[in-house]
Structure 1
Amino acid sequence: MKHAHISTLCECQARLSAELDEHRQVTRGWARHLRDRLSAAQPLHEAQVVAPAHSIHASQPRFQVAWLCPFCGRNTLRSFDASGLAWRIAPAATEAPASEAPGG
């Protein structure tokens, strides 16, 4: 299965990202935001959280993806061109060992 990764910035400067399948449908969305330092002793850290996302007009050459930013609550809509996507082959899922037949 092929997948592509897209990302953009929200108005609050959080990085919104999504993974798309070969039909350009969102399979997962997330966001990262650099948090302010709580004290001088604590370094900056990145928090990754789920950001609901969905594709709009995914079958068109130019399509949109909308996110709900978990940090500021904005609905963020961005346009993407299908020809600009970099596709990767997803690693094959490892199969579970075959179980023995009952009574054998």
Structure 2
Amino acid sequence: MASPLRQCRRCAGKRPQLVVGTLAAGAELVQQPGQVFYWRERNDEVDFVYEYRDALYAIEVKSGRKKSAKGLEAFSAKVPEALRVIITPDNFAQFSSNPRGFLQQVAV
């Protein structure tokens, strides 16, 4: 039987850039005023739900070419006022330099 640590390494090794990107985005968000949450319902999930003042952002972090917004769509169906944001390697530097400004600029 494989040890739990070995299994974790194997799972994390499949998409390490996604894990690092998600952690980095979360680290930026928790330093901002407001609150950060996670949302999951059945097979749908949103990496971060960020609430600041009267704005609610549903944020997905994507590392590859496939940028499925299934979780964002499911969350938006439940919370229509949520603004949707996808953070990718292409726009992470912009997000990192000014997280709240980035969210206000790119949210749909």
TM band (smaller chain): under 0.3
Choose 1 or 2 for highest CA Rg. Answer: 1
Give the alignment's TM-score, normalised by structure 1: 0.27
Instruction: Give the structure with the higher percent helix.
Output: 2
Q: Which has the higher strand share?
A: 1
